[in-house]
Amino acid sequence: MSETMIEVKDLDVSFGSAQVLRGVDLHLERGKTVGVVGESGSGKSTLAKVLVGTVRAAAGSAVVDGVDIVAANRREMGAYRRRTQMIPQDPYSSLSPRRTIAQTLAEAVDPARARVATHEDLIAEWLTRVGLAPEMMHRFPHEFSGGQRQRIAIARGLIIDPHLIIADEITSALDVSVQAQILDLLAGIKDSLGVTMMFISHNLAVVQRVSDDVVVLYQGQVVEAGPVGQVYSDPQHWYTRRLLDADP
């Protein structure tokens, strides 16, 4: 099996007449995490949506987990989408307010046979893994704090054993101390399970905590890419320097 997870070349994405991504290149090896930074509106979420298959590229190529997602047909994309999971900023977009945590997780594991009893052991295991008590599975999302909900969203993304996780601003709505806990959790999961991840944030410090490589997006273009230590200590592009200077 190839060691490459993401190979994006010269990717263009437009919404109507607005070109949002221009000539984007991105490479990611299996087991690694790439951080994507850039200010609001730079195209980070659009890139994520292309990679999960909800936005189509206008031009260029994107081979992810062995699938050419620009050219793939519906059936190929159906299987691919299960293997690539997005963890959203707002956990409510993956957690139904009317379902218990157990019901949501059971449905994620097997949409056709979503009986909680069938999947109870796996659900308990994942809640433990993300730092929550297994008994909490019978509660509803509103009974948890923001940080706990984000933990559940992480479990929801990972419980089906995806090949690639895309985390889009998942700590942005949280207090700094809770942010740190979620980052520690992700770093631990990454080390123990070896998941491949794209970690998107406008916050450079947050990205540094979990990423091996970093890509800097500016107005839809990659202006700098490389190992996170190298890019942060010796930025080559003025925009990267500006972001680093602005970061407290």
Pick from 119, 127, 132, 188: nearest CA to 156: 127
Q: Say whether residue 26 binds ligand ADP (CB under 6 A).
A: no
Nearer to Mg ion, 12 or 90 (CB): 90
Q: Say whether residue 53 binds ligand ADP (CB under 6 A).
A: no
Give the orientation angle of helix 146-158 with respect to helix 116-129, to 10 degrees. 120
Q: Say whether residue 171 binds ligand ADP (CB under 6 A).
A: no
Among residues 33, 42, 100, 103, the one that binds ligand ADP under rule CB under 6 A: 42
Q: Say whether residue 43 binds ligand ADP (CB under 6 A).
A: yes
Given the structure tokens 């707002």, which residue do they identify? 90
Beta pairing class for 221-227 and 213-218: antiparallel
Q: Which does 46 bind (CB under 5 to 8 A by kind): Mg ion, ligand ADP, none?
A: ligand ADP
The one-character DSSP state at 172 is T
Distance CA 40, CA 20 (A): 12
The interface mask with ligand ADP, positions 4-23, x = CB under 6 A, is -----------x--x-x---
Number of residues located near ligand ADP, criterion CB under 6 A: 11
Least separation, in Å, of the C-beta of 86 and ligand ADP? 12
Number of residues located near Mg ion, criterion CB under 5 A: 2
Nearer to ligand ADP, 105 or 210 (CB): 210
Pick from 140, 112, 144, 109: nearest CA to 126: 109
Nearer to ligand ADP, 40 or 73 (CB): 40
Least separation, in Å, of the C-beta of 152 and Mg ion? 21
CB 87 within 8 A of CB 133: no
Number of helices (H) and strands (E) in the chain: give both, helices first: 9, 10
Q: Say whether residue 41 binds ligand ADP (CB under 6 A).
A: yes
Distance CA 25, CA 15 (A): 19
Which two structure tokens, joined as six digits, stand for 21? Answer: 């991504």
Which residues sit at the interface with ligand ADP, rule CB under 6 A?
15, 18, 20, 38, 40-46
Which residues sit at the interface with Mg ion, rule CB under 5 A?
44-45
